[in-house]
Amino acid sequence: MALIRPSFANRGNLYSHFGVQIRSCRPDQTSQTNVLHYLNDGNVNLRFSWRKNEYLVPIVLVLKALTDSNNDKQIFDGICGSSDLNNSFLTDRLELLLRGFKKRYPNLHNRTQILQYLGDKFRVVFQADESMSDFQVGEMVLNRIILVHLNNWDSDSFDINETDLQANEKKSKLIMFMIRKLYSLVAGDCSPDNPDATQHQEILLGGFLYGMIIKEKIEEYLNNIKLQIQQDLQRGGVPVNFKSTKYMSRVLMRVNENIGSKLQYFLSTGNLVSQSGLDLQQVSGYTVVAEKINFYRFLAHFRMVHRGSFFAQLKTTTVRKLLPESWGFLCPVHTPDGSPCGLLNHFAHKCKISTKQLDLKFLKNKLFELGVTPIEACSQIGQNYAIVQIDGEIIGYTSHKNSAQIANTLRFWKVSGKNGIPLDLEIGYVPPSTKGQYPGLFIFGGHSRMMRPVKYLPLGKEDIVGPFEQVYMNIAVTAPEIVNDVHTHVEFSPTNILSILANLTPFSDYNQSPRNMYQCQMGKQTMGTPGVGLVHRSDNKLYRLQSGQTPIVKANLYDDYGMDNFPNGTNAVVAVISYTCYDMDDAMIINKSADERGFGYGTMYKVEKVDLSMNRSRGDPITQHFGFGSDEWPQEWLTNI
């Protein structure tokens, strides 16, 4: 994402407010964020975080550490290309970037020297073994920090193939693209991306978060075992024998790591205790107690998405705004009033989250057949060519006209089920524009993406779209709005933009604001049916409506979700009256006969703790018992207890 943030200028001398940020995810969904900062003298620095500390490295140092082929000419051609040599703004800054590196590091001439330099600087920070050389530590830094989603992960063990330079070549190509995008942002050729828009957001799922925590705790546990063994080796008093069960049991006894209790602490308190911070922006507020006031309330807990407690402390209201990119993914009316307004949203009832990584290895050859020039053979890089990416990996370049045709062809194959294109593949085509979003063809098939169904008009079948691609698609809301050669999709129903609770409001197009927005909150607070197993529950307090009824007027979704199994209210005729010309607020006159017949009759279940030992002195005979009624115990009860 191209960003303009005033806080970027506080990083140090010459730092500007321009930056490009990318969040790279490993296969287990642990992530590492890399940010490129533009300096006012034309240089670019890379910023990353490691164990809650930030580090800044010149980007040319990283590029030359990745591969031996990244000499000055290769870097210049990889960023500028042969088609943009007349762009003096770009070429001048590239020249300053390369000359500045030569001036600052005159003794670093090849990849080996640069990796040794990085290893020497980061040896203590990364707690590297003494047996590792500076060169190996430098490689470890690149593998753990720089664009980790492009590492050559082994599918079985998730280990990195250290000797494979193909991954480093991919990383260098992506970094060059990021530098070019950063210079385009500074020159005003493209607009900054909006991090508050749904287009640039993913969902942090609970299972992935638990996996991150467990992974870090296991890593800490293994490191502590390693330290114990190293101490034994240094002292020399205890012979180290890995084959000895007695010795290994002794080592494990000295390491006190209860991984389960730490995850339990996280779930019970919502506080994250982590040495690395897990690349997240908050340390508290991760969990909420699922309240069972009624079934509406309980259901809404599992459809909500929160922006984060970090944003709740901001004084600006920018992050709370309802943006058009959220259409069909986040409900526009189902958000609470007060401090969490706009931060705590709910998914539209047709929105789903992708939970698996699509296998897209075959897609490269399909793109090459459609006219994409592979990145290895491509020299025509510039504003007249569109970049093609798959899950953050640059595949190649093609013309803007051809990229639009490729996107349409892939979508046709996807909906028709041809050539193995999965239906939940996201095909984000960004067309060229004047000072708009940076153009290209961006294809996504990863985890945690919001997806929703729409009708594909050329085939009349269901298509699954994501928030990134939807921005540049023409989707009609209703069939009469369809314009030939303009709209490619149409909504299955106009109410697909609303959440489950918002869809339960009948006649939602009458008196919209109070009836829709209030009902989403009031419906979750009313006395209803909290559950069906009340006789077996021991909640501290529960409210139950005894006279629940099915509504006389109800929406279609009411029966689809079986809401009659958990009745939430009573049908009533309401008459609005006034006395002395004032409306009668917060009060109600109830018909006496209706009250006697059980109108609004409810029950409160409350748990009271009673200690029978407080009612007798020590040594007195037991005269009170729970659950048996009489003071005398039948003999068969005593034998069965």
- Contact 113/107 with Cβ under 8 angstroms? yes
3-state secondary structure (DSSP) of residue 424: coil
Give the C-alpha separation, 291 to 297, whole Å.
Answer: 7
- DSSP-derived letter for residue 160 is B
pLDDT value of residue 378: 73
Domains of the chain, CATH where assigned: 2-193 (3.90.1110.10), 196-287 (no CATH), 354-491 (3.90.1070.20), 526-605 (no CATH)
User: Which pair of tokens denotes residue 101?
Assistant: 């590196």
- Contact 543/602 with Cβ under 8 angstroms? yes
Give the C-alpha separation, 357 to 553, whole Å.
Answer: 43
- Contact 353/451 with Cβ under 8 angstroms? yes
CA 437 to chain centre: 22
pTM of the model: 0.88
Buried/exposed code over 540-577 (b: 16+ C-beta within 10 A; e: otherwise): eebbbbeebeebeeebebbeeeebeebbbbbeeeeeee
> What is the tally of helices (H) and strands (E) in the chain?
19, 21
Q: Which helix (H) or strand (E) holds 490?
A: strand 489-490
Alpha-carbon distance values, 457 to 7, 323, 475, 483 (Å): 46, 26, 10, 11
Angle at 97 between CA 94 and CA 103, to 5 degrees: 140
- DSSP-derived letter for residue 516 is I
pLDDT value of residue 249: 87
Nearest in space to 190 (alpha carbons), one of 13, 443, 440? 440
pLDDT value of residue 153: 74
Instruction: Looking at 386-470, list the stretches that DSSP marks H as alpha helix, in order from N- to C-terminal side.
Output: 400-416, 467-470
- DSSP-derived letter for residue 317 is S
Condensed to tens digits (0 to 9), the pLDDT of residues 122-137 reads 999 998 888 899 999 9
Query: How many CB atoms lie under 10 A from the CB of residue 429?
Result: 23
Please name the residue that has the structure tokens 């989603």: 149
Give the C-alpha separation, 149 to 445, whole Å.
Answer: 13
The dihedrals phi and psi of 285, each to the nearest 5 degrees, come to 80, 30
pLDDT value of residue 160: 47
- Contact 252/225 with Cβ under 8 angstroms? yes
- Spans of the chain, pLDDT less than 50: 155-160, 162-163
Give the C-alpha separation, 406 to 370, whole Å.
Answer: 6
Give the C-alpha separation, 442 to 462, whole Å.
Answer: 21
pLDDT value of residue 157: 44
DSSP calls for 42-103: S-EEEEEEETTEEEEEEHHHHHHHH-TT--HHHHHHHHH-SS-TT-HHHHHHHHHHHHHHHH
312 Cβ neighbours under 8 A, 6+ residues apart: 339, 340, 343
